[in-house]
Amino acid sequence: MPNRLDRVRRQLAEHDANALLISNLPNIRWACGFTGSNGLLLVDPDEAIFVTDGRYTEQARQEVEGAEVLIAKEGLVSRLLDAGQLEGMDRVVFQADHVTVSRYQKLEEHCPEITWIPASGLLTRQVAVKEDREILQIRRAQAVTEAVFDHILDVLEPGKSEREIAAEIIYDHLRRGAEKMAFDPIVASGPNGARPHARPTDRTLQEGDLVVIDMGCILDGYASDMTRTVALGEPSAAAREGYDVVRRAQKQAIEHARAGLTGKELDALARDCIEEAGMKEFFSHGLGHGIGLEVHEWPRASYSVEDELPAGVCVTIEPGVYVPEEEYGVRIEDIVVLRSDGVDNLTSVSKELIIQ
Amino acid sequence: MPNRLDRVRRQLAEHDANALLISNLPNIRWACGFTGSNGLLLVDPDEAIFVTDGRYTEQARQEVEGAEVLIAKEGLVSRLLDAGQLEGMDRVVFQADHVTVSRYQKLEEHCPEITWIPASGLLTRQVAVKEDREILQIRRAQAVTEAVFDHILDVLEPGKSEREIAAEIIYDHLRRGAEKMAFDPIVASGPNGARPHARPTDRTLQEGDLVVIDMGCILDGYASDMTRTVALGEPSAAAREGYDVVRRAQKQAIEHARAGLTGKELDALARDCIEEAGMKEFFSHGLGHGIGLEVHEWPRASYSVEDELPAGVCVTIEPGVYVPEEEYGVRIEDIVVLRSDGVDNLTSVSKELIIQ
């Protein structure tokens, strides 16, 4: 992990700054290992200081690597000031996309002699490229979600409500050792499936429904994320066709994905396929997103994204179609690691349509 | 709810502004009823405009009261601009404690002719004072949590892990109709109870443990929050004494709490009692916090808070002691509504020590 702090330090020259103040907790975890819910990491060319509050005294000392630990009684910034850590500095970079205007005003008030430099997307590229052991951790989180999926197939049946299935998804993740859910699971059946971000309702599953199940957990800090669409009995011809289109689009994207494409190009691999099938209007979101310590990370793979995707990033590949008139939706989602010559797929659950 | 928009409008004069831009989602829900995850509410003296994205077209039209609904294809602010809603304005207030510096920079870039006025704590006082129907909604959420507590007493036994109990707490809340948890439940047994913000671990419950159980859910948008500490078999004399001290402190606070006290004065009602028992150093957090559409709202009831607490706010009363040397912790938490002459307690579960 000290190696990661060096990667943080490389940002100093770019901003011609004395130090970086890291406040986004997943970035702090990535840089120095702290897993609690309050902290600031100050990184200068020679050292790194981590400050948290009294609740985390013991935990910080156990977890933090490569940084000195300070414990604050009042505010975290006050503690840095008291310790003289900001003395003599005149330019400090902060994470503009994670700091509120109120907090920024307080920084300026506390340390009027410092020029506070707002930087957006600081560390996003560093964090996005995963080390092998991080990929292993995502695989492990994903394995829990896949085991849950197997269990859910056993309990998915007409008469149960979307909410009941969602509760079972959460319970089973936790029983299998997940720390928590990465997001509220989606269980969207029949016409509800036609809303891409549906929340589970009291609707009971019906014979003939397609059921979109989108779920992921956090295990040792890393996120999983998987969507499968399951049929309860024989679906309508339209729904079956929609499934096949999404299945083909997802396959095409995974077969041709590789590092070096832009987000837009990766998205197009699936979107073109859906467009050829005449269903373009029903694919109303981007193809996928980066994933790691956060369930949504840079880079997005979407039609408006010109960023090139580097080797080693983990992204979801999740095309979908949402067809209100035909009362169904389909989404299929895997996580892949982009390599220079293709991908490693971290998801092993079959994508053939399951009819049960 | 249009009445609430008028309460929002009263802030305009205070800031000598043309409009307020509300971006904090629970505040948006409070002001106009929208329950989705993306939106902005612009309120001027004559009208209110709510803008969200295409996922929420139907939902916004169903839910939003008192504001015109716009649907954005690109950014929400761009949509407001395109619709001419910001034309002719020169001073617009925004929520400085909910807007990042990045977003603020974008506002300035998009609308350079507007002076954007940062305001912290905008609407917190309005939102804090609850209408009767809101108190009823908190009662309903609390009733779910109380039913879960009864169920948990049936399954709490030596040999089960903290994680298993936490999973059961979540599952049972969802089965009983909760939308989701208000926060990750705390199940902290024996020595783990001595950490006020412990996360559930794989530790198995032991005969003689005190077990701190802190949990709350969201039902129809409103939060519940309750802590009880249960003994598995006869606790140590020290733990029993700690329980009695906290029980007395909580009773004292609830008996003497009323609107018009400052946060500090309310906190002192319990803190003095714990201090008299010689355990001051073990009560390491504030007495409580406001609760409503968010599980932590203004006002805090804590030793550093000079704000006066108005009638009609809902606050938690949750003293605790955390004693590592004796390997136990205790916390007892109810939600009360402050009235001019006392409180209404929204929590009905007994606070006698349960030994099982």
CA distance A334 to B206: 41
Pair B225, B332 in one domain: yes
pLDDT for residue B2: 56
Could you tell me which residues of chain B have a Cβ less than 8 Å from any Cβ in chain A? 37, 54-55, 94, 96-105, 118, 120, 163-164, 166-168, 170-171, 174-175, 177, 179-180, 184, 195-197, 199, 284
CA-based angle A309:A313:A316, to the nearest 5?
A: 90
Q: Which residues of B touch A118 (CB under 8 A)?
A: 101-102, 105
Closest Cβ–Cβ partner in B54, B97, B171 for A100: B97
> Quick one: A241 and A142 in the same domain?
yes
What is the H or E stretch that residue B224 is in? Answer: none
Q: How many domains would you assign to chain A?
A: 2
Do B30 and B2 meet the contact criterion of CB atoms below 8 Å apart? no
| Structure confidence at residue B305 (pLDDT) | 93
Q: Which of A57, A98, A100 to mutate to test the interface with B (most CBs of B within 10 A)?
A: A100
Q: Which two tokens stand for residue B90?
A: 């020169």
Q: Are B299 and B305 in contact (CB under 8 A)?
A: yes
Chain A residue set in contact with B, beta carbons under 8 Å = 37, 54-55, 94, 96-105, 118, 120, 163-164, 166-168, 170-171, 174-175, 177, 179-180, 184, 195-197, 199, 284
Last residue of a domain, one of B109, B127, B145: B127
CB atoms B97 and A96 under 8 Å: no
Is pLDDT above 80 for A2? no
User: Considering only CB atoms, which chain B residues are within 8 Å of A97?
Assistant: 100-103
Same domain? For B83 and B173 the reply is no
ipTM of the complex: 0.90
- What's the CA gap between B243 and B235, in Å, rounded? 10
| Contacting residues for A202 by C-beta, under 8 A, at least 6 apart | A161, A162, A163
Tens of pLDDT, residue by residue over A188-200, are 999 999 988 788 9
pLDDT digits (tens, 9 = 90+) for A223-245: 999 999 999 999 999 999 999 99
Range of the domain at B40: 2-127
- CATH number of the domain residue A351 falls in: 3.90.230.10
HSE-CB for B299 with a 13 A CA cutoff: 29
The alpha carbons of chain B give a radius of gyration, in whole angstroms, of 23
Co-location of A33 and A78 in the same domain: yes
Looking at the structure, tell me whether residues B122 and B141 fall in a common domain.
Answer: no
Q: Are the beta carbons of B100 and A105 separated by less than 8 Å?
A: no
Asked if B35 contacts B179 with a C-beta cutoff of 8 angstroms, the reply is no
Q: Which of B57, B95, B100 to mutate to test the interface with A (most CBs of A within 10 A)?
A: B100
pLDDT at B3: 84
A108: domain CATH number is 3.40.350.10
A179 & A99 share domain = no
Residues 6+ apart with CB under 8 A from A200: A161, A162, A163, A165, A166, A184, A185, A186, A187, A188
Does A145 share its domain with A204?
Answer: yes
Co-location of A202 and A233 in the same domain: yes
Same domain, B84 and B167: no
Q: Which of B80, B104, B127 is the last residue of a domain?
A: B127
pLDDT in tens, B202-223: 999 999 999 999 999 999 999 9
Q: Is residue A126 packed enough to be buried (19+ CB in 10 Å), middle (13-18) or exposed (0-12)?
A: middle
Average pLDDT, chain B: 96
Calculate the alpha carbon distances from B201 to A39, B148, B188 in Å. Answer: 22, 20, 8
Residue A214 distance to chain B (closest CA, Å): 16
Cβ proximity of A119 and A96 under 8 Å = yes
Q: What is the pLDDT of residues A124-151, one digit of tens each?
A: 999 999 999 999 999 999 999 999 999 9
Six-digit token pair at A287? 């193809």
For residue A287, the 8-state DSSP code is S
B83 & B225 share domain: no
Asked if residue A112 and residue A82 are part of one domain, the reply reads yes
In a 13 Å sphere around the CA of B144, the CA atoms on its Cβ side amount to 29
Helices (H) and strands (E) in chain B, counts: 10, 20
Per the CB < 8 A criterion, the answer to whether A64 and A32 are in contact is yes
Among the candidates B110, B127, B144, a domain finishes at: B127
- Statement to judge: residues A350 and A222 lie in one domain: yes
- pLDDT tens, position by position, B301-340: 999 999 999 999 999 999 999 999 999 999 999 999 999 9
